[in-house]
Structure 1
Amino acid sequence: MDKFTIKRENFESALLRLKEGLAGYESASDPQLARDGIIQRFEFTCELAWKTTREWLLDQGHVELNSPKAVMRQAFADGLISDSDGWIGLLNDRNMTSHIYDENTADQIFRRIQTCYLPLFEGLLAKLI
């Protein structure tokens, strides 16, 4: 199996785990703990999304794509994604979850995962398959 296929399958698995977390959120006995787990799943899904996209772009002949934002800008230019602003927001939120933590920020990011970021991940995966 080539590097792209391995990364894509890992991204697909991570996205499935994120969806499972979101599906179980409403029935969770500890919603705050469930939210925090979903945010962690979002973090690794985000990492796999941009790294898989980078591998796809490298296979297309691109070079010098070393940052997540550069990768997603090129993916937009190549038509792989259609909402570059959404992806930049997603990457910014990913950085916030790693470096800053407070309840209000966590709640805001959690809501964006549910409403904005899940569809971005799903759309990217559909293009990569």
Structure 2
Amino acid sequence: MKKFDNYVRQLNVLKKAYDEDMDNEFIISGIIDKFSLQFELGWKVLKELLVYEGESRAKTGSPREILKASYAYFGFLDEDVWLSMLRDRNDTSHIYNGNQAKELARMILDRYIPAFIDLKVKIEEKYEDVLNEL
């Protein structure tokens, strides 16, 4: 699946954030931007998998609805974390304070990247036989 390949490729870039200087505002901004992209790719991968599974709710197009449907369909998805990501992704354009940006970057490192990694692993396990055909 092309979307999943992009998801994995961008995740490998985002994971480099662990090696970066968290006192550098430019780096923090880049981490937040990469997080937003990773989140977009994540919910779109989930949407495509729901379509593959024949889930009618996948047609909504709304990230919130896709996450809710995914949580109900895939037991491995942590709904609280993903809905928190959605809120934070939506709020990124309203962060004007350096401390808020630093807090979000820390949240990305501590909670969100591990959730992205977990999603990757679980998708590979569940769809290993058909992933390249999707």
The corresponding residue for 2:43 is: 50
Task: Kindly indicate whether the alpha-carbon contact (under 8 Å) linking 1:8 and 1:128 is maintained by their aligned counterparts in 2.
Answer: no
Q: How far is 1:83 from its partner? A: 1.4
Q: Moved runs in structure 1, 4+ residues, more than 3 A?
A: none
The corresponding residue for 1:31 is: 24
Question: 66, 88, 94: which is aligned to 2:83?
Answer: 88
Count of paired positions:
121
The corresponding residue for 1:116 is: 111
Q: Distance in 1 between matches of 2:109 and 2:86?
A: 15
Task: Kindly indicate whether the alpha-carbon contact (under 8 Å) linking 2:18 and 2:109 is maintained by their aligned counterparts in 1.
Answer: no
Structure 1 length normalisation: TM-score? 0.86
Q: CA RMSD, aligned part only?
A: 1.6
Structure 2 length normalisation: TM-score? 0.83
The corresponding residue for 1:10 is: 6
The corresponding residue for 2:130 is: none
Q: Distance in 1 between matches of 2:33 and 2:75?
A: 25
Q: How far is 1:23 from its partner? A: 2.9
Q: 1:37 to 1:112 in 2, by over 3 A?
A: same
Task: Kindly indicate whether the alpha-carbon contact (under 8 Å) linking 1:73 and 1:84 is maintained by their aligned counterparts in 2.
Answer: yes
Q: Distance in 2 between matches of 1:49 and 1:40?
A: 14
Segments of 5+ residues of structure 1 without an aligned counterpart are none
SS of 2:95's partner is coil
Segments of 5+ residues of structure 2 without an aligned counterpart are 125-134
Q: Distance in 2 between matches of 1:48 and 1:105?
A: 24
1:101-112 maps to which residues of 2 (within 5 A)?
101-102=95-96, 103-112=98-107
Task: Kindly indicate whether the alpha-carbon contact (under 8 Å) linking 1:80 and 1:124 is maintained by their aligned counterparts in 2.
Answer: no
Identity of matched residues, %: 31
